[in-house]
Amino acid sequence: MKQFMVGLILFTMQYTVNAGDTLQSIAEQYCQGDDPRQIAEFREGIRELNYEVIGESDVWAGLVLEINRWK
């Protein structure tokens, strides 16, 4: 039996919010799954990573967010 090791690397990207964007729409665009629970968790991960800037509010055009992704 062959065993393979799969390695994932976490990297942080920057995303500039466009007019009409919401945390939900950004999460839907960048989440690697399509399960609504995964997307909700990804959305809250974006909020947590950028909490000092956005707190509990939504995003606004021109804001630069950090988004963590696995590759």
| Assigned domain for 22 exists | yes
Helix or strand holding residue 48 (H, E): helix 36-49
Specify the CATH number for the domain of residue 57.
3.10.350
38-51: per-residue pLDDT in tens? Answer: 999 999 999 999 99
Residue 1 lies in a domain: no
In a domain, 5, yes or no: no
Phi and psi at residue 57, to the nearest 5°: -85, 175
Q: Is 3 within a domain?
A: no
Q: For residue 2, is it within any domain? A: no
Q: Would residue 42 count as lying in a domain?
A: yes
What per-residue confidence (pLDDT) applies to 68? 93
Give domain status of residue 51, yes or no.
yes
Domain coverage including residue 66: 10-70
pTM > 0.95: yes or no:
no
Beta bridge pairs of residue 14: 66
Q: CB neighbours of 5 closer than 8 A, spacing ≥ 6?
A: none
Q: Which two tokens stand for residue 43?
A: 């959305």
The total domain count for the chain is 1
In angstroms, rounded to a whole number, what is the distance separating the alpha carbons of residues 54 and 15? 14
